[in-house]
Chain A
Amino acid sequence: MIANKNKSEDKIIRLLLIMLLTLIASMVAYAVLSLPESATNLQRLVDNNIDISGVSNPVTAVLLNFRVYDTFLEMVVLLVALLGVWSIKEVPIESMNDLKNPVLDTLVDLLVPFSLLVSIYLLWVGAHAPGGAFQAGSVFGAGLVLLMLSGRQPFLNFKGLPLHFALIISVTLFISISIYSMFATGELLKYPLSQASSIIFILEGMATVSIGLTLSLLFYGIYTKKKYK
């Protein structure tokens, strides 16, 4: 946004900008430092209700139960990003085998199944320890990206309608559970107590699939064979 032909003019603007930003930053820093050392926040509420939430990890409880509506919208954001990327750049599903060598091939053979295992583990462990759908989905997506980069073509045969179904499975599930909860309990996204952990697990499972696929396809959209300076 800033470019001037005159070098000294440029320097003055930079200096002014730095001074302005430093001023604002110090005000923000002052506000941050003025926060008390121990605070009242929502932790007590979470702890009080965690036993009926269906999981024992508080972060998962917040993400998939107390504030699951945010997670719902967030899955839509992921979908929007992918739709946006696809509307800008139609990338033909082709192989990206720029990198081909035996070391990479062996590594991929070892790493990708391992990352799949790690992903499933993260998904399962999220109920009672740090972990969950997003972490699992990211690892899964990374595994897919590794496959793409090494020349294997995970999306060669899995494209078109089946791929589209898999991408929207998470949002569709959220919508279905919303409708189900409206009928079953009259409140949006309220889980019947006995079914809470199962519902959470299904949501997380499908979310992992959608997240992994979306992330790897987002990466794919950025891939380009041209070299830029």
Chain B
Amino acid sequence: MNMLFIYALTGTGLFFIGFYALIIHTNLLRKILALNIMGSGVFLVLISLAMRSGHSSPDPVSHAMVITGIVVAVSATALALVLMLKVVDITGKPDLHDQEDE
């Protein structure tokens, strides 16, 4: 059973590595990728903890949550990418620093 906790810790690690990358990088594509890594981290935690049940098969509700989460993440990533492309189109640079008043 302890193997599962290693996966769960990996998921946690991924989440925070992604979090760091999200804050540090200015390039929008890297931020979007960072969000995806964070998402993968959460899913990994959910799935690995799902194996903890006494039964031989994993907990189906966690798996259902992850499937839903993946679909939502894909939709959000697509929207983010299109928005990023629009920002690049308009400002010429893929970052958010182009603000006149802030």
Residues of A within 8 A of B (CB): 1-3, 14, 17-18, 21-22, 24-25, 28-29, 32-33, 35-39, 41-43, 46-47, 58-59, 61-63, 67, 70-71, 74, 77-78, 80-82, 84-85, 88-89, 134, 211, 215, 218-219, 221-222, 224, 228
Number of A-B contacts (CB under 8 A): 130
- Could you write out 18 A-B pairs with CB less than 8 Å apart? A17-B20, A17-B23, A22-B16, A24-B16, A33-B5, A33-B8, A37-B1, A37-B52, A38-B52, A42-B61, A43-B53, A43-B59, A59-B67, A77-B72, A85-B78, A88-B82, A134-B70, A218-B74
Q: Tell me, rounded to whole Å, the shortest Cβ–Cβ distance linking B85 to chain A.
A: 6
- Residues of chain B within 8 A (CB-CB) of A41 are 50, 53, 59, 61-62
Interface residues contributed by chain B, number (CB under 8 Å): 46
- Residues of chain B within 8 A (CB-CB) of A82 are 75
Alpha-carbon distance between A17 and B83 when the two chains are bound, in angstroms? 28
Across the interface, do A42 and B59 meet the contact criterion of CB distance under 8 Å?
Answer: yes
Binary per-residue interface labels of chain B (58-99) against chain A in the complex, 1 for a CB within 8 Å, 0 otherwise? 011111100110111011101101110110100000101100
Across the interface, do A32 and B74 meet the contact criterion of CB distance under 8 Å?
Answer: no
A-side interface mostly: helix
Picked from A2, A39, A63, A221, the residue with its CB within 8 Å of the CB of B53 is A39
Indicate whether A32 sits within 8 Å of B5 (C-beta atoms), given known contacts A41-B61, A62-B61: yes
Across the interface, do B78 and A32 meet the contact criterion of CB distance under 8 Å?
Answer: no
Indicate whether A38 sits within 8 Å of B53 (C-beta atoms), given known contacts A32-B12, A46-B60, A134-B71: yes
Which residue on chain B has the smallest CB distance to residue A221? Answer: B82
Across the interface, do A35 and B85 meet the contact criterion of CB distance under 8 Å?
Answer: no
Alpha-carbon distance between A58 and B59 when the two chains are bound, in angstroms? 9
Alpha-carbon distance between A41 and B52 when the two chains are bound, in angstroms? 9
Which residue on chain B has the smallest CB distance to residue A86? Answer: B82
